[in-house]
Amino acid sequence: MSEVMMDRMSWVDYRSRIEQGNAVVFLPCGSLEQHGPHLPLGVDAMLSTAVAREVAVRVGGIVAPALSYGYKSQPRCGGGQHFPGTTSLDGDHLSQVVRDVIRELARHGVTQVVLVDGHYENQWFLIEGIDLALRDLGVDHAMRIMRTEYWDFCTEEVLGEVFPDGFPGFALEHAAVIETSLMLHFHPELVWMDKIPDVAPVEFPPHDMYPPHTHWVPTSGVLSSARGASAEKGALIVDAVCAGFADAVRREFGG
């Protein structure tokens, strides 16, 4: 199998991959954010990279190094900014980094880019970066960009198997069953199963407050328990997500 990780290629090998045409470059977008006492701070970058890598292998793509810092953690989907370790960017800075990276890829001759978001709070700032980059490149440029939260490729069928008692929704899935199962699949040495807090899914009101009400968030930082997580569920999720994701890439970019 040829190398898919851009930072492990020489520039000469990278150039020849781009010159073959039709190369799809994946840009994983993560965060440095608390993920409960049982997972490391880098989960979002690790998982978006791991998923991007699996999909890149299937479609013959290249994975650029992840953006390891993301937009500010929000209480109702990431626990919030008040945890030690959570280290976030201003939205404009994230957008500008995305804009710069896309512009540089375009300079290399890349015309197909996939942003793989692993941190929900990044969403609109990634979209802004994409929009600014496309405006820089001009309407006649061949650049096309796909953007997704990778977990949206999870099928109803798989969610039914992973959550036999009902799915609490992706927002509460922070450091919970999906991320913990995926970490057990990709990086089992970085999951501390004996530290999983046993909490009921948090019930948030349908609004936010600023400054945030930190008392809305459990002190563990976990929004629903990861007790039901397993490596088997991780493999199930990975298979479904990567199959759906690879199909979408082929549909949009051909090959």
Taking the least distance from each CB to Zn ion, the nearer of 103 and 170 is 170
Active site residue 128: no
Nearest to 88 by CA among 98, 101, 78: 78
Taking the least distance from each CB to Mn ion, the nearer of 39 and 102 is 39
Q: Closest distance between Mn ion and the C-beta of residue 179, in Å?
A: 8
Active site residue 207: no
- Strands of the 144-149 sheet, one edge to the other: 62-63, 24-29, 112-117, 144-149
Residues 214-253 that bind Mn ion (CB under 5 A): none
Active site residue 82: no
From the list Mn ion, Zn ion, none, pick the one residue 246 interacts with, judged by a Cβ distance below 5 to 8 Å according to partner type: none
Q: Which of 117, 121, 149, 173 is catalytic?
A: 121
- What is the Cβ-side half-sphere exposure of residue 2, based on CA atoms within 13 angstroms? 14
Active site residue 44: yes
Q: What is the distance in angstroms between the CA of the first residue and the CA of the last residue of the chain?
A: 17
Q: Closest distance between Zn ion and the C-beta of residue 149, in Å?
A: 11
Query: Judged by CB under 5 A, which of 119, 147, 185, 233 binds Mn ion?
Result: 119
**CB neighbour list of residue 18: distance below 8 Å, 6 or more residues apart:** 108, 109, 110
Query: Judged by CB under 5 A, which of 36, 75, 78, 244 binds Mn ion?
Result: 78
Q: Which of 44, 117, 149, 173 is catalytic?
A: 44
Token reading at 198: 């046993």
Q: Closest distance between Zn ion and the C-beta of residue 148, in Å?
A: 15
Burial class for 74, CB neighbours closer than 10 Å (0-12, 13-18, 19+): middle
Q: Which residue has the tokens 């626990």?
A: 79
Residues 41-70 that bind Mn ion (CB under 5 A): 44
Number of residues located near Mn ion, criterion CB under 5 A: 5
Residues 32-71 that bind Zn ion (CB under 5 A): 43-44
Q: Which residue has the tokens 């968030």?
A: 217
Instruction: Answer yes or no whether residue 149 interacts with Zn ion by CB under 5 A.
Output: no
Strand 144-149 versus strand 112-117 pairing type: parallel
Report the chain's C-alpha Rg in angstroms: 18
Taking the least distance from each CB to Zn ion, the nearer of 45 and 110 is 45
Active site residue 117: no
Rounded distance between C-alpha atoms, residue 112 and residue 19, angstroms: 13
Q: Which amino acid is at 235?
A: A
Neighbours of 238 (CB within 10 A): 20
Q: Closest distance between Mn ion and the C-beta of residue 152, in Å?
A: 15
Q: Closest distance between Zn ion and the C-beta of residue 39, in Å?
A: 8
Taking the least distance from each CB to Mn ion, the nearer of 74 and 230 is 74
Active site residue 19: no
Nearest to 179 by CA among 227, 226, 128, 242: 226
Binding site for Mn ion (CB under 5 A): 31, 33, 44, 78, 119
List the catalytic residues: 33, 35, 44, 119, 121, 174, 179
The site for Zn ion (CB under 5 A) is made up of 43-44
